[in-house]
Amino acid sequence: MDPEAVPSPTRWLAAHGVSVPDELLQLERWWASAGRAVSEAVDRMGTPWLRMFDRFGERTDEVLYPPEHRALLVRGYRAGAVWHALEGEGLEATFRIGYVTSFFDPGAYCPYTVSLATALAVYKYAEPAVRERFLPLLLRRDDGVWQGATWMTESAGGSDLGAAVQTTAQPAGDRWRLQGEKFFASNVGAELALVAARRPGAPRTVRGLNLFLVPRWSSDGRLNYRVRRLKDKVGTRSVPTGEVELPDSEAYLLGRPEDGVYHVLEVLNVSRVANAVGSVALAQRALAEAVEFGRCRVAFGRPVLEHPLLRTQFQANLERVRAAFALAWYAVRLLEQVWREVPPYSPRYHTFRLVTHLAKFWTAEVAFQSARWAVDVYGGAGVLAEHGVERLIREALILPIWEGTPHRQVLDGLEVMVQKAAHEALLDELARADSRRAEALRQRIRAHLELPHELREAHADSLFAELASFTGAALSGQG
């Protein structure tokens, strides 16, 4: 077994053509020496807690972190998890930080993801005065950095936002007032949140949605949204998720009203790319844990990882994770190319959309498969908390669901193939690696898209999975 088959996260990045500056190496060393212990302690204790009232009985809804946990989060912000996008090396640098973070704690990457999405939306679509007021706070490199959040989901669910979003927005001079609730609000307690709501008279479809910026405190210093409770979750305990009430909350409309659905989808797609990056980091961590344990555990006279069956399984898992990484990082680089675009988008942007759906769909599944295999390697020890791999299963459970279930990715991917033929440009690129298979898949997709709507949707899952796995394999040189 090659001892370097599953290296550290930075060495993995470097081996796959991603630059690794000294600052990233320092972040990795900190995680390995100190951050990992903090992360494990937070996971054992549970989510940060909510203090709803101060000592005088005034509503504060303050989310409290252990000091070490807060220091852990700030370290990533200082390193550039957000500011690199606009004042540093660009978006890829933010995802490098996300990869290293997710290798050690996937939940800790969530605040960086939604804060980044918030900063990009404010940069692109806020009115100048709003941008100048809030953006510098999201880009700070010290303990005073503000966090962002993206709150779309309500109690009816998140997949059908057009029907599920009941939050309303009323104009109030140069700003708006929101009334409603958000049911699954990640990074609750953030100083700024992107919120989906519906203007008066807007249609009851996704076309009627708009994106609003909601500060934690209103312009007169009052609490601007309320946290009803924090969720008790099976995984990702390091990020607080709660239910939010918007009781006439002060808000700022982002972008042109008629383009609101595109603004919402842009935010979701940034998070989907991050979800793919975090998924592959978790998968790599699972393989690393399995290799470390498999070298030490002896059965039938030799380490279990030297047995032919397990060695073959490891190689298959490793190849799948490499392909998943290639797909995720391709989505990162496409996002870097197109994120500044505004509607109407270029054909390249639609290729990005398709790749993002493929990456979100497939990498999350790879992460769960990898975590489950790691538990298999550990055997009975794998279900014991002290070994840590059972946590990888718990962390992996949210990855297929967050920012759109696998079904949602398939349906949205089908839409961009039907309406924009985005698969054609993608397959043209992949044909450089495997022209025969690319052409065969192109013909299969064309035939599938000619099916009646119900049949096209009913049998799309296997086609989408094949396109995703081929894309990853071709990009990683395994095609």
| Class of the domain covering 261-475 | mainly alpha
Which residues are registered as beta bridge partners of 215? 192
Residue 340 has pLDDT above 90, yes or no: yes
Residue 431 has pLDDT above 70, yes or no: yes
Q: Per mean pLDDT, which range of 43-52, 131-140, 341-350, 364-373 is the poorest?
A: 43-52
CA distances to 358, 412, 450 from 459, rounded to whole Å, are: 16, 14, 12
Give the model's confidence band at 1: pLDDT under 50 very low, under 70 low, under 90 confident, else very high: very low
pLDDT of residue 108: 94
| pLDDT tens-digit map of 178-187 | 999 999 999 9
Residue 146 has pLDDT above 90, yes or no: yes
Q: What is the mean pLDDT of the chain?
A: 95
pLDDT of residue 4: 53
pLDDT of residue 183: 96
C-alpha–C-alpha distance, residues 309 and 186, integer Å: 41
pLDDT of residue 3: 44
SS3 track for the chain: CCCCCCCCHHHHHHHCCCCCCHHHHHHHHHHHHHHHHHHHHHHHHCCCEEEEECCCCCEEEEEECCHHHHHHHHHHHHHCCCHHHHHCCCHHHHHHHHHHHHHHCHHHHHHHHHHHHHHHHHHHHCCHHHHHHHHHHHCCCCCCCCCCCEECCECCECCCHHHHCCCEEEEECCEEEEEEEEEEEECCCCCEEEEEEECCCCCCCHHHEEEEEEECECCCCCECCEEEEECCCCCCCCCCEEEEEEEEEEEEECCCHHHHHHHHHHHHHHHHHHHHHHHHHHHHHHHHHHHHHHHHCEECCEEHHHCHHHHHHHHHHHHHHHHHHHHHHHHHHHHHHHCCCCCCCCHHHHHHHHHHHHHHHHHHHHHHHHHHHHHHHHHHHHHCHHHCHHHHHHHHHHCCCCCCCHHHHHHHHHHHHHHHCHHHHHHHHHCCCCHHHHHHHHHHHHHHHCCCHHHHHHCHHHHHHHHHHHHHHHHCCCC
Residue 2 has pLDDT above 60, yes or no: no
Residue 7 has pLDDT above 90, yes or no: no
pLDDT of residue 479: 60
pLDDT of residue 166: 96
Residue 92 has pLDDT above 50, yes or no: yes
Q: What is the mean pLDDT of residues 96-100?
A: 98
pTM of the predicted model over 0.75? yes
CA distances to 41, 42, 81, 100, 172 from 284, rounded to whole Å, are: 22, 22, 20, 11, 49
pLDDT of residue 128: 98
C-alpha–C-alpha distance, residues 269 and 335, integer Å: 9
Q: What is the mean pLDDT of residues 274-282?
A: 98
Give the model's confidence band at 158: pLDDT under 50 very low, under 70 low, under 90 confident, else very high: confident
Q: What is the mean pLDDT of residues 275-280?
A: 98
| pLDDT tens-digit map of 28-41 | 999 999 999 999 99
Give the model's confidence band at 237: pLDDT under 50 very low, under 70 low, under 90 confident, else very high: confident
| Class of the domain covering 150-257 | mainly beta
Residue 9 has pLDDT above 60, yes or no: yes
Q: Per mean pLDDT, which range of 96-105, 198-207, 229-238, 373-382 is the poorest?
A: 229-238
Which CATH number is 9-138 given?
1.10.540
C-alpha–C-alpha distance, residues 263 and 260, integer Å: 5
pLDDT of residue 159: 85
Q: What is the mean pLDDT of residues 163-175?
A: 96
Residue 236 has pLDDT above 90, yes or no: no
Q: What is the mean pLDDT of residues 37-65?
A: 91
Domain ranges for the chain, please list them: 9-138, 150-257, 261-475
Residue 428 has pLDDT above 50, yes or no: yes
User: If 0-12 CB within 10 Å is exposed, 13-18 middle and 19+ buried, where does residue 340 land?
Assistant: exposed
pLDDT of residue 6: 78
